[in-house]
Structure 1
């Protein structure tokens, strides 16, 4: 927990319910221990979409399709969403959820390894949501920046690892040390990249919001 638990509980109590389909998917995901974006991240995404009003969204990491569907409800009507997933057991569930919500025409799910898929995409996208394997964020970044248009927004979720990011790598369990070091490298790169302006926010499990600089201005 990054923010005091009582404060998080209070903020959750202020939230309005999502659409019926999103509430059903969220409850099923929680029941089946499928990771989806937290309540505070849901709210933050809605605000970012209202500000940016993107027309082409890319999501890296579909899971069961919850966040793609949420974005489809809060992005402009003409916006299209492409989402990438490699976990075979979740792909048919996501497709079924898109069908149930009537969003098959708005959301395109690409099956396969994200790194391989990213190299084949031409973009450009004006909003990219990164919510896949945390240890691979740093590897994805060059391709993500290639297809992110100038003034485009990159949102990276779960970047603070429940606060463990501030710990020494030797204080982290051995199995988590690679992810820990790669995420630290990723955050440093976001903050020092010449093409990005980035804010790292202790919201949910930590999120980074980056804007690609428009060098033509």
Structure 2
């Protein structure tokens, strides 16, 4: 837990409901133990999209399509989202959710390995939302920077690993040590790459927001 649980509960109590289809998809996802972006991250994305007004969005990690649909509701009317998912069992669920939400025309789902597919894309994208395998963020980073437009924004979710990121690698469970070290490397690179200006915010499970200079 990064932020006090009572504070999170209070902030959640202030939230307005999402659209009916998003509320239904969130309910189904939670019942199936499918991770989706947290309430505070949902609010953050909504405001960021309304400020940035990105026309072209790339999402790395579709899951069941919840965040893509949420972003589609807050992007400009002429906006388009390209989203990438590798996990075969979730792909048909995401496609069905896009159909249910009436978003098939503004969301394109690409199936397969994110890094390989990113290499095939030409961009530029006004906003890239990174919410895939955390141990792969460092590998996605060069392609993400290449694909960003000038002044484009990279949003990386779940970067603080429930607070474990500040621990020594030896204090982290052995099975999580590779992800732990790769995420620390990723955050260092985000903060020190001269092409980016990055803020790391203890919101949800941690979010890094980077602007391409």
TM-score under structure 1 length normalisation: 0.98
1:94 pairs with 2:94: yes
SS where residue 25 of structure 2 aligns? helix
1:203 pairs with 2:193: no
| Displaced runs of 4 or more, over 3 A | none
Q: 2:28 aligns to what?
A: 28
Unaligned runs of 5+ in 2: none
SS where residue 83 of structure 2 aligns? strand
Tell me the alpha carbon deviations over residues 46-87 of structure 1, each in whole angstroms, 9 at most, x when there is no partner.
010011000000000000000000000011111000000000
Task: Count how many residue pairs are aligned between Structure 1 and Structure 2.
Answer: 213
1:60 pairs with 2:60: yes
Tell me the alpha carbon deviations over residues 102-159 of structure 1, each in whole angstroms, 9 at most, x when there is no partner.
1000000000000110000000001000000000000000011111011000000000
Tell me the alpha carbon deviations over residues 88-115 of structure 1, each in whole angstroms, 9 at most, x when there is no partner.
0000000000001110000000000001
SS where residue 208 of structure 2 aligns? strand
After TM superposition, the structure 1 = structure 2 runs for residues 178-189 of structure 1, keeping only pairs within 5 Å, are 178-189=178-189
Q: 1:145 aligns to what?
A: 145
SS where residue 48 of structure 2 aligns? helix
SS where residue 36 of structure 1 aligns? coil
| Structure-2 separation of matches of 1:113 and 1:192 | 27
Q: 1:37 aligns to what?
A: 37
| Structure-2 separation of matches of 1:107 and 1:61 | 13
